[in-house]
Chains A and B, each alone.
Chain A
């Protein structure tokens, strides 16, 4: 790279190259994309009037997988913090929503974002411990922290101890109303999460984050506050994971420590992100849809199904380092959410 640049003096530092985001600007195509996105959201929002209630339940489930995987992707793929402990925040989100609803009398639908914010607050002191470790040891350390939360909630009798409890705050609301509002909440959470991650990555802070991922030392020497950035990403990822958890248990109506803090949540998120392609927004979306489809088709096979998922994660990691979507993107030049920056002439 250096040799090529030195051979071409017109690229010297005197003429700063302009930086543009994403694909070459094509106003008409971009306009179409926005209209299509808006139309798809409007169509999705009207589902309760024409769809079946099972579709709404399925959507809520996919939404939880998707948001959780997207936040894991933000943390690991962009922040460089590979965690096996994000189920800690998934569970905290679920329990906070349930406690606010059952014990404090807050409307459970409003308790969903409140539970997510609670997890964000808890993430700050948790980061003081977790950030003592790096790389692979950070991953296992976060897992220990998640286990501490699981065992602690299992000893809290006010939320049912080890056997868990039910979301009684929704009693008295008709099933149709409950399912409809849960569905809209899920849709709003998905749209908000995708928009948040997309805008964040296109912002100046997003660029700083990519610089940190590529080299912490170099980023720091350019004046980027590496510690502050990492903390911000950790907290945002915790809020997102908790949002997924609160949503999941709002749809599920029953929570237990083993379900809420199961390492499987993070295992599935890793699977989705790796299959779809890490470090790109489309990755978790493609991964979540594939995971949901595989789940529908093969989950009856139980252990064989899980064994297959494990094998698939190994094979994709070794042979498709960019994930399946990344592989297709490279091969065919597709992109849905342009966040990469190109040097212009």
Chain B
């Protein structure tokens, strides 16, 4: 690129310069437009639930913004660094203010941020919505494992550390999760669902998954919970609705469920005697 055009007075030709800057700024946008619907995934994946997919699209949107803004800023930094290396000892023009430019780089970011916020709210409202459902799973986290209880179905799955308990849930069905913790904080994180939520002692956290693809997905505790935090794995197995019914029937075990329930009650009564704060995902 040639150095900035100068008029005879040494004053840069701002119009020409702006035209060039605009051209540079439009390049990434043009590249994206050419890419069309094939927006890159920027390292994330669409995941296996309806909300994981909207989160993924939000991710793509944010990433496009980050690439454009970051790209322009990088170009400006690199340009300044190479173009304005010291050449001789003369003192450069001591310009300090340029009000229109300053207003631009204040107002444009505000608009970008408002756009990002609007997109955030749309996705967030979708994600924390609590639609009616017939499938409920109580998820209880403890040091260092998980217990998945299917209320009313007499089915309980418990597993510690490397046993990797499996939470089975039906596909194409809203699955309501009640998340609690028996001791310290834990993080209920399913990578393929693009989602995590703390399991908090004394708080009932509620949210809904609607899986759209069958498969087995890895989950893990993400919030430091003590010595074996690194080993607090689980799996989520999304199966067809008929397979889910079969699985429920095969694992029907009233005594185990009762034992687990009474153990929970005992645990709860020793740890959580007073009030259980209920918290909706959307408050």
A complexed with B: no
Binding site for B on A (CB under 8 A): none
